[in-house]
């Protein structure tokens, strides 16, 4: 660890926003903005490994993003698949454990296969836990959790008194991980956009104007330093 910590930072989540606007500002196609965003993604992942961050969860594609123009969505899905295929061995070599969270039912077979391959390849890695949210929404996550609990209740596997916060957390996509300590959103918007609604209940929130393709590990480090100076109360007077 190369900076002094006041707060114990385990889990960082980032809403990677601004690829399309970055491209439009330069007169480029939106897909070129997404490709440029991949370079920032690699920089942030490499920094997280160097910083020895435990968990990094990234919002790559929301359920609502399906409403975007067909060509952009098609190219994005192709980009996701190619990126996973091209980077899986590099990520594995860095001891990164990769998990893709979200609804996979609309994905192509190629993308599904690449996801299965990278998760299987990296499942025993003990370094950075890298979660990438594709076709994810917080409401979808909670709804699936309720359905799972109801099925177990219906099968008499559990009773009503066993339903508590821990059980809900266990049935969410990231139920095996601690909650998010720090949430960053790039791109100037100040909203959560249906991301990790349960897991960010007590997160420290940072909304920055930098568009994702321009976001670097230097700005990331400055945010971590600011996080370390915050007084996290969790509802208690200190």
Tell me the catalytic residues: 17, 65
Cα 193 to chain centroid, rounded: 13
Token code pair at residue 131: 């979660």
Q: What's the CA gap between 125 and 108, in Å, rounded? A: 27
Where do runs of H (alpha helix) occur along the chain? 19-25, 30-51, 70-93, 109-122, 138-154, 165-170, 217-229
Token code pair at residue 105: 């039912």
Q: Say if residue 79 is exposed, middle or buried (CB neighbours under 10 Å; 0-12, 13-18, 19+).
A: middle
**Residue 49, beta-bridge partner list:** none
Q: What's the CA gap between 192 and 151, in Å, rounded? A: 30
Q: What's the CA gap between 235 and 60, in Å, rounded? A: 31
Largest pairwise CA distance in the chain: 59
Token code pair at residue 165: 């916060």
Q: Which residues contact 14 (CB under 8 A, 6 or more apart)?
A: 44, 56, 57, 58, 59, 183, 184, 185, 186
């Amino acid at each position: 660890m190369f900076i002094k910590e006041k707060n114990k930072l385990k889990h960082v989540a980032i809403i990677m926003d601004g690829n399309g606007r970055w491209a439009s500002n330069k007169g480029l196609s939106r897909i070129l903005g997404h490709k440029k965003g991949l370079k920032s993604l690699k920089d942030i992942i490499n920094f997280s490994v160097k910083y020895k961050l435990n968990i990094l969860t990234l919002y790559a594609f929301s359920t609502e993003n399906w409403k975007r123009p067909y060509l952009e969505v098609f190219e994005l899905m192709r980009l996701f698949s190619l990126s996973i295929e091209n980077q899986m061995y590099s990520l594995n070599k860095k001891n990164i454990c990769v998990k893709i969270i979200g609804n996979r039912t609309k994905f192509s077979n190629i993308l599904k296969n690449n996801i299965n391959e990278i998760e299987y390849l990296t499942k025993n890695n003990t370094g950075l836990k890298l979660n990438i949210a594709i076709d994810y929404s917080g409401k979808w996550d909670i709804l699936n959790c309720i359905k799972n609990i109801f099925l177990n209740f219906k099968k008499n596997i559990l009773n009503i008194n066993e339903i508590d916060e821990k059980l809900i957390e266990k049935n969410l996509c990231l139920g095996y991980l601690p909650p998010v300590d720090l949430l960053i959103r790039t791109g100037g918007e100040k909203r959560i956009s249906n991301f990790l609604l349960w897991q960010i209940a007590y997160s420290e929130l940072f909304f920055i104007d930098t568009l994702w393709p321009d976001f670097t590990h230097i700005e990331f480090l400055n945010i971590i330093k600011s996080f370390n100076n915050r007084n996290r109360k969790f509802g208690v007077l200190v």
